[in-house]
A and B are shown apart, each in its own frame.
Chain A
Amino acid sequence: MPSAEVMSDTVLEVRDLHTQFDTPNGIVRAVRGVTFTVRRGETLAIVGESGSGKSVSGLSIMGILPRNAAVTGGEMLFSAAGGPPRDLRKLPEKELRKVRGRQISMIFQNPMSSLNPVFPIGEQIAETLRHHLGHSPAKARAAAVSLLAQVGISDPERRVDAYPHELSGGMRQRAMIALALACDPELLIADEPTTALDVTIQDQIIRLLARLQQERRMSMIFVTHDLKLVAEIADRVAVMYASRVVEEGAVDKVLNRPAHPYTKALLDCIPRRDYDSDAGRTLKPIPGVMPNPLAPPPGCAFEPRCPIPIEVCRAAVPPFEEISPGHNTACLRWRELRP
């Protein structure tokens, strides 16, 4: 049990979270024991490949899972500033509605999924402010204009009346950030907010998020499949593979001294050209394929693709162990990665 002092530094602690989908083909265990900590004022990146359970983890925290899905185990302890930790899973729906969108908010990969196409963007922001903070219509509209300005939308007095389809992809993403930040949340979950954008626009959005996060001392969960972005935006990182967090720790440690073979393999996949070597154009793909989510292996899910497995890796899921303060891995053989 962490000490009281550590608790106050923690905004969200997710412990052994399980979420599953009931599908015609059987139960899909999309999240199978996810554990991570988000510290106040910091950014935790969740990185992993398609289908690893990143979005489902975010949706579970927000309590907005699709109908055929449910959280079946674990805790999600959220501590509002000055308040005690409360398990979001046990919160009555009425309480949860106050947390959602106000204390914790989420932005999505596809802005169209959270912006309503039939209302002007300013109206959507104003409506959130009226609903959560009880602003008068005039005050809400003025605040919406100011928010649009803060996220770098030029000519906000005019753009406040624009419909989502009248904006470019980058502008829509900015509008969505403005909407998510309207109530000054303590925790922002950004689910691949730049994946569909050009590098130049991605760069603008990343800088914007980093600036807003600092100004507001907001905490953030930044979901991405791009390890290169992690170094840029996050303080800590949780690496997901096949529905589990396999490694978590400070960014510099995890990226420079990975303690899980999957993290290392993922780092090796990043194209990096070395002009001084004949082999400087070769990439190192990860052999094999992702496990079938309907029938995951009983032990370490990465074992079939791992370069250094031993017998016990196959027998049972390796424990998620702290190998140095704040650095956890679910690999029994992590020392082998450190010659």
Chain B
Amino acid sequence: MNAVAHLGTDTHPTAPAQEEDVLVRVSGLSKHFGTGGGLFTAAAAPVRAVEDVSLTVNRGEVVGVVGESGSGKSTLGRLVLRLLDPTAGRVIFEDEDITDLRGAALRGFRRRFQMIFQDPLASLNPRMTVGDALIEPMQLHFKLSRKEAAARAVELLEQVGLSASDMRRYPRSFSGGQGQRVAIARALASEPKFIVADEPVSALDVSIQAEVVTLLQRLQKDLGLAMLFISHDLSVVEVIADRVVVLYLGRVMEVAPTEALYRTPAHPYTAALLEAVPGTSRSGEPLKGEIPSPSNPPSGCVFRTRCPFALDACAADVPALRDVGPGHQKACIRDDLDL
């Protein structure tokens, strides 16, 4: 296929997302940390954690976000949920621009999206029983009586494979996998449409990881949830995601339907990441060096300092994301690569 044919505004005929399916849309999102200097200190170069990211998540869709440590995955997740204010860009949720919402208006929206973290205890108050942790958001969001909320809490616990007897337990008394179930139940309590799961299974043993992934898959399907699934584990993402976004130094390198991304990666960084997954073919050279400092990213293509295919031209401009196949885009200027 000639990828250049899809350059520019040309919409691909088989683009999977119909406009009306889009639940979350972010455009030109950036987050720079620590821009300001103090009274006596010069402003240090800001950390460019997320840089000009645009993406959509459709209703009921799972979008995976992968990339090395420091690539900006968590920051992106927090920006999308409006837990952080962006330096630039917009966040649109169900056709409503929520970028500038603050205070009560934002809290009203919060119920519709939730976050699940790597450490389940991080989102649970250690002095609150699991029952109270579930009942509280339901009373807040749905004005249920305590009794009604308690009945719903038991339902939720059963939905995640726990039981009514767990209502009186404290978060710390649960194992890693159980704790993540509690965190998932709590995230579901407000009946969200969209969940950002930030490394939800990364701290778990493989057998427990399989259990929690299975639970997330079932809930996602049954409840028609849309999800941004952040992980550095490419194998887990491959199983759970419909589409995958590859981040490097805060920028999107490639976006594609899962099968296309894993079978026919189009960006050298994606190919290198997949090559590094243990148990895959060991033909190519390993990726050299480490991710550069996000305070001082390379000019042009941010990946060029580690890219085995870099040309002089790669240093000139930041490559635009452009179509290379159905729903498949990459930010690399070269089209002559056999990855």
Which of chain B's residues has its CB closest to A47's CB?
B206
Interface status of B238 (Cβ within 8 A of chain A): yes
- Taking a contact as CB atoms under 8 Å apart, the answer to whether A199 and B232 are in contact is yes
Interface SS of chain B: helix
Of all A-B residue pairs in the complex, the 9 with the closest CB atoms, nearest first, are A203-B276, A285-B211, A228-B279, A285-B210, A283-B210, A228-B278, A49-B205, A286-B207, A269-B210
Known: A49-B207, A50-B205, A271-B210. A281 touches B273 (CB 8 A): no
Which of chain B's residues has its CB closest to A284's CB?
B210
- Taking a contact as CB atoms under 8 Å apart, the answer to whether B290 and A170 are in contact is yes
- Taking a contact as CB atoms under 8 Å apart, the answer to whether A281 and B205 are in contact is no
- Taking a contact as CB atoms under 8 Å apart, the answer to whether B286 and A269 are in contact is no
Known: A271-B213, A273-B258. A283 touches B232 (CB 8 A): no
Interface status of A232 (Cβ within 8 A of chain B): yes
Shortest beta-carbon distance from A274 to chain B in Å: 10
The 0/1 profile, CB within 8 Å of A marked 1, for residues 192-211 of chain B is 00000000000001111111
**B290 partner residues in chain A, CB cutoff 8 A:** 168, 170-171, 201
Which of chain A's residues has its CB closest to B236's CB?
A271
**A50 partner residues in chain B, CB cutoff 8 A:** 205
**A90 partner residues in chain B, CB cutoff 8 A:** none
In the complex the two chains form, what is the Cα distance from A41 to B29 in whole Å? 52
Interface residues of A in 18-62 (CB under 8 A from B): 49-50
Shortest beta-carbon distance from A105 to chain B in Å: 24
Shortest beta-carbon distance from B201 to chain A in Å: 10
Which of chain A's residues has its CB closest to B306's CB?
A200
In the complex the two chains form, what is the Cα distance from A65 to B69 in whole Å? 33
In the complex, how many residue pairs between chain A and chain B have their CB atoms under 8 Å apart?
96
| 6 further contact pairs, Cβ within 8 A, besides A226-B278, A228-B277 | A49-B207, A199-B277, A265-B207, A266-B207, A273-B239, A283-B213
Determine which of A171, A266, A282, A289 lies in contact with B206 in the assembled complex, contact meaning CB atoms within 8 Å: A266
Determine which of B69, B210, B286 lies in contact with A203 in the assembled complex, contact meaning CB atoms within 8 Å: B286
Which of chain B's residues has its CB closest to A305's CB?
B207
- Taking a contact as CB atoms under 8 Å apart, the answer to whether B206 and A200 are in contact is no
Known: A266-B207, A273-B258. A203 touches B287 (CB 8 A): yes
14 chain-A/chain-B pairs, Cβ below 8 angstroms: A199-B68, A200-B276, A200-B287, A204-B288, A207-B286, A229-B278, A270-B206, A270-B235, A271-B235, A271-B238, A271-B239, A273-B258, A283-B210, A285-B214
**B234 partner residues in chain A, CB cutoff 8 A:** 199
**B263 partner residues in chain A, CB cutoff 8 A:** 275
Interface residues of B in 256-275 (CB under 8 A from A): 258-259, 262-263, 272-273, 275
Interface status of A198 (Cβ within 8 A of chain B): yes
Interface centre among A171, A231, A273 (most CB of B within 10 A): A273
- Taking a contact as CB atoms under 8 Å apart, the answer to whether B211 and A200 are in contact is no
Interface status of A202 (Cβ within 8 A of chain B): yes
Interface status of A225 (Cβ within 8 A of chain B): yes
In the complex the two chains form, what is the Cα distance from A225 to B206 in whole Å? 8
Interface centre among B240, B276, B282 (most CB of A within 10 A): B276
Interface residues of B in 101-124 (CB under 8 A from A): none
In the complex the two chains form, what is the Cα distance from A286 to B209 in whole Å? 10
In the complex the two chains form, what is the Cα distance from A232 to B280 in whole Å? 9
- Taking a contact as CB atoms under 8 Å apart, the answer to whether A272 and B214 are in contact is no
- Taking a contact as CB atoms under 8 Å apart, the answer to whether A283 and B286 are in contact is no
- Taking a contact as CB atoms under 8 Å apart, the answer to whether B235 and A200 are in contact is no
**A7 partner residues in chain B, CB cutoff 8 A:** none
Shortest beta-carbon distance from A317 to chain B in Å: 21
- Taking a contact as CB atoms under 8 Å apart, the answer to whether A282 and B214 are in contact is yes
In the complex the two chains form, what is the Cα distance from A265 to B205 in whole Å? 13
Interface status of B175 (Cβ within 8 A of chain A): yes
Interface centre among A168, A170, A269 (most CB of B within 10 A): A269
